[in-house]
Structure formats: C-alpha cells, structure tokens
Amino acid sequence: MSAFTANEMMTIAASRALKGSDVCFVGIGAPSAACNVARLTHAPGITLIYESGTIGTAPDVLPLSIGDGELCETAVTTVSVPEMFRYWLQGGRITIGFLGAAQIDRFGNINTTVIGDYARPKTRLPGGGGAPEIATSAQQIFITMAQSKRAMVDRIDFFTSFGHGEGGDHRKRLGIDTAGPTLLVTDLAVWKPDPATKEFTVVSLHPGVTREQVQETCGWPVRFAATVEETLAPTALELQTLRDLKARTEAAHKAGASAGKRGSKDG
C-alpha cells in the first residue's frame, strides 16, 4: 500500500486541507474526488454542495456531472439553482469553493472557456458554469490540477474565474472582499499565495519531486518559499479510501453504460 501515483498524492494532499466544519462548493473531477476522500476520512462532518442545488451530498461514487442522480439521491436536501447561488453562495455561507482549471496563471486566475483567440479558438472548453461566481463569493478558493506548461501559463487566454488579478490588492480594489485562491495543489507540489504579491509560491514538494521538475512543468519562473517542506505521503487509510471510491465509480459507470446499450437495442 506504500506505493502511490502522483495523481493519488495530489488528490489526498488536497483533501487534507478540508475540515469537518467546512461548507464546500465542489467542482466536478479532481475537486470532487478530493472532497469526498476528506468526507470519508478525517472530515465526516463536511457539508458538500454541488452546483445543481444538492446540499449535504454524500455520494457513494463520484458524479459524472452536476446533474448526476447520485448527488440528489444522497443529499440532505436539494434547492433550486437560483437559491443555491443567491442564498448560499452570494450570502457568504460557503467557506471553500473547490475548483479545477484548464489554464491557470501565477495569481490564480482560471481559464475554462477557450484555448487561443476567443473568436478563432484552438480548443473550445466546457465554460465557466458557476465557477466565476464561486471564485468571487466563496470565502476561500482551493484549486487542484496536474502540472504542465500548457496548463500553468504566464498569461491565460481567457479570464473565466477571477483569482488575484494582477496580484497585490487587485481583488480589494475591485470591491471583492473574499480571500480568493488560498491553495493550489498539483501532482507535484503544494502552493500558497505570497501574503503581499499574491503570487503562488511552492511551500511543499511531494515525495521524490525536485524543484527542477516543478519548474519544467510550469510556464512562469517558479517562486519557492524560504522553507520548502515535503508533503506527507498518503496513509494506508487515505489510499484505500481513494482507490475504493475510484473502483466503485468505475464499476457503476460501466454498469450504467452497459444498461444504456441494452436499452438502446431493446428500443
């Protein structure tokens, strides 16, 4: 059980940042995996909220989308999307917004809209959904993503979700009174914003990772904290919980796909 992948390390390191008292607005994909590992291990009291309006969700498998029936079936309650955003999110009741990104810059600004020129894109991405509102209204923002020079860029192609803008007090100057991105967890390291400049800085390297590897997969000159720690390796419980969750998810989705094919033939 001691061996683990970089992706497992990323998910588990991200999950550790959550507390049982958090009310967390969960993004699909890697954020969802991290939040549910936290719920199943050290933070059983955490309240997970998904964009479709499900509150207190406790899925047995990871959802494919915010419309996955598993979310509503396991939620304490489900409210309308306008209520979710106006009362819960804009009302300041969300402690953590947990997001992923296609592109991110050194100040935590996120692009999930388009790669390349907006009018003539190289790639059209899924879009922002509720992420722009989460980025400004949740008390803090956590981000998780795999490192690459394509993803971690000097300047993002499109501002989908506002992080710290140009750095410093940019959020405050715009009248945004929430903290913004306070944590970035990648498959190589843990990053936190510099208190003054708000530029993401490496504070912890995952086991076996070098500074050179971090720089090679980042599109801007990486800053390292004065003291860089080593991320604690996953425990047996954390690894087993994550792997069991992934196994249940894979089995459920395969079963669903097979049922869909049978239904199509019968029809």
Residue 51 among the catalytic residues: yes
Whole-angstrom distance, CA of residue 115 vs CA of residue 157: 6
SS3 breakdown of the chain: % helix, strand, coil, rounded to 5?
A: 30, 20, 45
CA–CA–CA angle 151, 156, 157 (5° rounding): 110
Buried/exposed 43-71: b ≥16 CB within 10 Å, e otherwise = beebbbbbbbbbbebbbebbbbebebebb
* Contact predicate 94/35, CB 8 Å: no
Instruction: Check 8, 51, 133, 199 and give the catalytic one.
Output: 51
Whole-angstrom distance, CA of residue 262 vs CA of residue 198: 53
- CA neighbours within 13 Å on the CB side: how many for 122? 5
**Residue pointed to by tokens 């592109």:** 103
Give the Å distances, CA to CA, from 36 to 16, 29, 41, 186, 206.
Answer: 11, 11, 9, 17, 21
Whole-angstrom distance, CA of residue 92 vs CA of residue 79: 17
Helix and strand tally (H, E) in the chain?
Answer: 8, 14
Residues acting as catalytic residues: 51
